[in-house]
Amino acid sequence: MLASLLLLVPLAGAVVIGSRANTPPCPGYKASNIQETDHAVTADLTLAGTPCNTYGKDLQNLKLLVEYQTDERLHVKIYDAEECVYQVPEKVLPRVADSDGSRKDSALKFEYQAVPFSFTVKRKDEVLFNSSASNLIFQSQYLKLRTWLPDHPHLYGLGEHTDALHLPTTNYTRTFWNRDSYGIPENSNLYGTHPVYYDHRSQSGTHGVFLLNSNGMDVRIDKTENGKHYLEYNTLGGIFDFYFFTGSNPKEASIEYAKIVGLPAMQSYWTFGFHQCRYGYRDVYQVAEVVYNYSKADIPLETMWTDIDYMDRRRVFTLDPDRFPLKKMRELVDYLHDHDQHYIVMVDPAVSVSDNGAFNRGSAKGVFLKNQNGSLYKGAVWPGVTAYPDWFHPDVQDYWNDEFNAFFHAETGVDIDGLWIDMNEAANFCSYPCTDPEKYASQNNLPPAPPPVRPSNPRPLPDFPADFQPFAKRIYQAKHGLEGRNLINPPYTIRNGAGSLSNKTINTDIVHAGEGYVEYDTHNLYGTMMSASSREAMQHRRPDVRPLVITRSTYAGAGREVGHWLGDNFSKWSHYRISIAEALAFASMFQVPMVGSDVCGFGGNTTEELCARWASLGAFFPFYRNHNELGSISQEFYIWPSVQESARKAIDIRYRLLDYIYTLFHRQTQTGEPFLQPMFYLYPEDTNTFTIDLQFFYGDAILVSPVTSQGRTSVDAYFPDDIFYDWYTGIPVRGQGANITLRDLDITDIPLHIRGGTIIPIRSSSAMTTTELREESFQLIVAPGLDGTASGSLYLDDGESLQQEATLEVQFEYRNGILRVDGKFQRHINVLESVTLLGPGKHRRSREEGAKKTIPTNLELSKPTEIKLE
């Protein structure tokens, strides 16, 4: 094969990129010294002609490494021969273990052309990736590679964005450069970087392409003048480090991606309860009032959150002594814990440059980012002039652990149960070059003046600032990355919504401590590195408990450590709708399953109708939180009667389903099998499902079809060729691969249907807290498929421990009128109260009458048994 490929004629003409005049065409590379085994291919790549030097200096010598890692995964790496070019550090994304796959057994095949060098990845005879669409460009500040796409491609991924789940394939650019993205603008770079795309082909399966590169990047999808589609990478540095993976369907492809970036972190049982927050609670008394009002409204509240309002002048690891005094905060937290509820606060990365403990201690350790002359790098965020922790610094984890241990100490501080991270792109309000952050902060009211103190509040607590210790002077030099690069204004300009690379963020010429990486290369990693350090700090203070950390900024693999909320959306119907596609992408394609949006919207004023609809929709995302901003009207669920009703109904269903959720979420953390899924994941051959992103599956069993437009009381829901059952009535719905109009939907209603062939464990009733919920017995819903069979499972553990001593795993199978229950018991004793069989059945008199048949059982789930249902 190699010998014959080496003799192939060069591809049609070298390409010219950009609009620079008087530059030679880019020559590409030629392959030599090719070595091939059944496990790997290596080669030298040498510039094949005169350098074009369009957006940097062409590198003369490259290396090629191809690894058949597993039967479903192929690794293709193109890097500089001297290995001076920056690569994503393994401490951020550990490399997947090479399991010694082989070309012989692999579902993916690597082929290449030597001059000019290009490569093809095939699945059997089907071309999945073909880089012959343009000559390879590998320059000091610009890399380009283009692959042909099939006609009418079905592409997904390339997040975070607010575009359709099914990506546009003409004149489309997806930019990767994490930024503070208030209002989540359309077709723009947002908070996260996940450079993976999925290509779904209904006849042959689904494959994915992950580019392990953290540099700023534009990915373009378009077609040539003759109508041929292509996808093109344009990056500001790094290397081409591709992972190709394949599955027979989208779900299998997602499982393969999880093997590359890591399995998601398991969450505690309580984290799936309902959460409440807002930016603008003026003091601890108002927070307590909200807790009280939810209780009076009979709306279950699992966790209360507090935004930056609790801080003293917006400084992290401080309390406002007037509005959130320690004594009253501890009373609030104690009350919540005594009532089996939880408490979470926000921590931002930026630390106030002032005489306060967190800054003084960090300065003494030297853990903040510094300019190249050794002076402190300063920005301006909520507390005014700020310093930023350097997550590469060898002492930063000890510093972060110490701050958490002191401020969140169970006996002397605020005993939080989880953590919320914001502004970690990292955000900087001061526009580049921000030469005078002090002046900027002064002119822009940073920190903003707090509201007046209520007359009944106690007097301020005394402040005991630590002695300031100046940071050590030293010259910072980059140890990783090519020299001579323009780290502020590179020749190639990505389409960053904030403008230049350093605008509204940390300067990209900053050199990190430790290994000497530059921010130009590692910018997109800042948020994920803070997340990992924060998770470790949470575990350090509570070593045995699963830590909940919700972050804004993410990079590939973030789900191993944290969950994600979808940022600062608006109270708009369009943001209500797009939240579905965003959540589906994160949960299924990016392997960050603990995901949800700000229910009812963060910015602007919601309406009663929108909030009622969103209260229902949000209950079917893994992370469920109501949150809005300072200056907007209050939108707690108890504000409007209709929203109260909507929330009660939705939470009642969510809580009864909580063990179903918990079981499938646990499965994803063990196998990567997605829990929250687009419709085409379960019906991969039904082309009608490929573009649907307003309906979705909550696990494999429940189809959610929300009303998504203002003023509507109906929804045109698509039902594939299968059997479904109405959640509320049990009435069968025979899908025919067409839309069915669901009518007369009050603003408190959300249509739910159970997919045939599934068995769902539910609690016998809901509860006000998840602790109380776990005392309820179980029921089963059996929904036979078209073949008359059904199956399901249940996983139980203690709900919070990192290491479990006792679990219960139960498999359910229904066939020929018999339900078989097979449990693996470890200590748990849970009662199965009853079984409900759906469908017409031989004893049913009509479609409406007897659509449900409930059989009392009162059996222990841990004991294998058979139950006759017909």
3-state class of 668 per DSSP?
helix
Model pLDDT for residues 348-387, shown as the tens digit of each residue = 999 999 999 999 999 999 999 999 999 999 999 999 999 9
Which letter does DSSP use for residue 272 in this model? G
What is the rounded distance in angstroms from the CA atom of residue 568 to the CA atom of residue 575? 10
**For residue 53, what are the contacts with CB-CB under 8 A and spacing of at least 6?**
23, 139
pLDDT at residue 847, as a whole number: 47
Model pLDDT for residues 584-604, shown as the tens digit of each residue = 999 999 999 999 999 999 999
Lowest mean per-residue pLDDT among 4-13, 168-177, 437-446: 4-13
H or E element in which residue 3 lies: helix 2-6
pLDDT at residue 213, as a whole number: 98
Instruction: Indicate whether 275 pLDDT > 70.
Output: yes
**Which of 489, 512, 542 corresponds to the end of one domain?**
542
pLDDT at residue 2, as a whole number: 34
What is the rounded distance in angstroms from the CA atom of residue 680 to the CA atom of residue 720? 10
pLDDT at residue 482, as a whole number: 85
What residue type is 291 in one-letter code?
A: V
pLDDT at residue 826, as a whole number: 56
Residue holding tokens 């003091």? Answer: 283
Model pLDDT for residues 113-164, shown as the tens digit of each residue = 999 999 999 999 999 999 999 999 999 999 999 999 999 999 999 999 999 9
Asked whether the beta carbons of 697 and 680 are under 8 A apart, the reply is no
Q: Cα dist. 499→177, 179, 503, 506 in Å?
A: 11, 10, 6, 13
In a domain, 155, yes or no: yes
Asked whether the beta carbons of 505 and 488 are under 8 A apart, the reply is no
**For residue 389, what are the contacts with CB-CB under 8 A and spacing of at least 6?**
349, 351, 362, 367, 368, 369, 396, 399, 400, 530, 533
Two structure tokens written together for 47: 């510039």
pLDDT at residue 859, as a whole number: 83
Are 304 and 210 part of one and the same domain?
no
Share of the chain above pLDDT 70, in %: 93
Strand partners, 197: 157, 209
pLDDT interval class at 477 (50, 70, 90): low
Q: Cα dist. 230→290, 817, 864 in Å?
A: 53, 52, 55
Which letter does DSSP use for residue 303 in this model? E
- Roughly what angle, to the nearest 10 degrees, separates helices 658-671 and 250-261? 60
Picking from 437, 446, 428, the residue whose alpha carbon sits closest to that of residue 507 is: 428
- Roughly what angle, to the nearest 10 degrees, separates helices 396-407 and 526-541? 50
What is the rounded distance in angstroms from the CA atom of residue 189 to the CA atom of residue 553? 12
In a domain, 181, yes or no: yes
Asked whether the beta carbons of 794 and 861 are under 8 A apart, the reply is yes
Strand partners, 30: 46
Are 228 and 310 part of one and the same domain?
no
Picking from 310, 297, 303, 391, the residue whose alpha carbon sits closest to that of residue 644 is: 297
Paired sense of beta strands 240-247 and 205-211, if any:
antiparallel
Residue holding tokens 């020929």? Answer: 816
Angle, CA 591 vertex, CA 587 and CA 596 arms, to 5°: 30
Torsion of CA 720, 726, 727, 728, to 10 degrees: 160
Instruction: Indicate whether 97 pLDDT > 90.
Output: no
Asked whether the beta carbons of 580 and 193 are under 8 A apart, the reply is no
Please name the residue ranges forming H helices in 217-351. Answer: 250-261, 284-296, 326-338
Tell me the residue range of the domain where 724 lies: 674-868
Q: Quick one: CA dihedral 716, 722, 723, 725, positive or negative?
A: negative
Instruction: Indicate whether 829 pLDDT > 90.
Output: no
In a domain, 52, yes or no: yes
Are 229 and 309 part of one and the same domain?
no
Are 207 and 336 part of one and the same domain?
no
pLDDT at residue 278, as a whole number: 98
Are 536 and 475 part of one and the same domain?
yes
Tell me whether residue 568 is one of the annotated catalytic residues: yes
What is the rounded distance in angstroms from the CA atom of residue 702 to the CA atom of residue 319? 44
Are 233 and 323 part of one and the same domain?
no
Tell me whether residue 180 is one of the annotated catalytic residues: no
Count of domains observed in the chain: 3
pLDDT interval class at 337 (50, 70, 90): very high
pLDDT interval class at 542 (50, 70, 90): very high
Instruction: Indicate whether 7 pLDDT > 90.
Output: no
What is the rounded distance in angstroms from the CA atom of residue 306 to the CA atom of residue 317? 13
Instruction: Find the mean pLDDT for residues 471-483.
Output: 56
Are 236 and 153 part of one and the same domain?
yes
Are 223 and 317 part of one and the same domain?
no
In a domain, 421, yes or no: yes
Task: Find the CATH number of the domain harbouring 503.
Answer: 3.20.20.80
Asked whether the beta carbons of 392 and 277 are under 8 A apart, the reply is no
**Which of 479, 513, 542 corresponds to the end of one domain?**
542
pLDDT interval class at 814 (50, 70, 90): very high
Picking from 8, 20, 75, the residue whose alpha carbon sits closest to that of residue 210 is: 75
Are 705 and 845 part of one and the same domain?
yes
**For residue 802, what are the contacts with CB-CB under 8 A and spacing of at least 6?**
539, 543, 544, 545, 546
Q: Cα dist. 497→49, 440, 524, 531, 612 in Å?
A: 36, 22, 15, 24, 32
**Which of 542, 565, 592 corresponds to the end of one domain?**
542
Instruction: Indicate whether 13 pLDDT > 60.
Output: no
pLDDT at residue 828, as a whole number: 56
3-state class of 119 per DSSP?
strand
Angle, CA 254 vertex, CA 249 and CA 256 arms, to 5°: 95
Tell me whether residue 515 is one of the annotated catalytic residues: no
Task: Find the CATH number of the domain harbouring 57.
Answer: 2.60.40.1760
Q: What is the mean pLDDT of the chain?
A: 93
Instruction: Indicate whether 3 pLDDT > 50.
Output: no
Catalytic residue, from 199, 320, 425, 833: name it.
425
Model pLDDT for residues 776-804, shown as the tens digit of each residue = 999 999 999 999 999 999 999 999 999 99
What is the rounded distance in angstroms from the CA atom of residue 236 to the CA atom of residue 258? 26
Are 200 and 304 part of one and the same domain?
no
Instruction: Find the mean pLDDT for residues 175-184.
Output: 98
CA 637 to chain centre: 26
In a domain, 572, yes or no: no
3-state class of 845 per DSSP?
coil
What is the rounded distance in angstroms from the CA atom of residue 22 to the CA atom of residue 587? 47
Asked whether the beta carbons of 217 and 524 are under 8 A apart, the reply is no
Strands (E), 187-292: 192-201, 205-211, 217-223, 229-235, 240-247, 274-276
**For residues 512 and 24, which has the higher predicted lDDT (pLDDT)?**
512
Instruction: Indicate whether 214 pLDDT > 90.
Output: yes
Instruction: Indicate whether 21 pLDDT > 70.
Output: no
Picking from 762, 631, 740, the residue whose alpha carbon sits closest to that of residue 695 is: 740
Are 319 and 243 part of one and the same domain?
no
Task: Find the CATH number of the domain harbouring 751.
Answer: 2.60.40.1180
pLDDT interval class at 823 (50, 70, 90): confident
H or E element in which residue 441 lies: helix 437-443
Instruction: Indicate whether 572 pLDDT > 90.
Output: yes
Q: Which strands make up the sheet holding 217-223, listed edge to edge?
A: 137-138, 143-148, 229-235, 217-223, 172-176
pLDDT interval class at 841 (50, 70, 90): low
What is the rounded distance in angstroms from the CA atom of residue 42 to the CA atom of residue 112? 12
In a domain, 678, yes or no: yes
As a whole number of Å, the CA-based R_g of the chain is: 28
What is the rounded distance in angstroms from the CA atom of residue 592 to the CA atom of residue 450? 35
Catalytic residue, from 568, 645, 700, 809: name it.
568
Catalytic residue, from 322, 422, 659, 797: name it.
422
Instruction: Indicate whether 18 pLDDT > 60.
Output: no
Helices (H) and strands (E) in the chain, counts: 15, 45
pLDDT at residue 14, as a whole number: 35
pLDDT interval class at 827 (50, 70, 90): low
Model pLDDT for residues 644-686, shown as the tens digit of each residue = 999 999 999 999 999 999 999 999 999 999 999 999 999 999 9
H or E element in which residue 516 lies: none
pLDDT interval class at 555 (50, 70, 90): very high
Are 344 and 227 part of one and the same domain?
no
In a domain, 778, yes or no: yes
Two structure tokens written together for 579: 């939240």
pLDDT at residue 825, as a whole number: 61
pLDDT interval class at 98 (50, 70, 90): confident
In a domain, 154, yes or no: yes
pLDDT interval class at 5 (50, 70, 90): very low
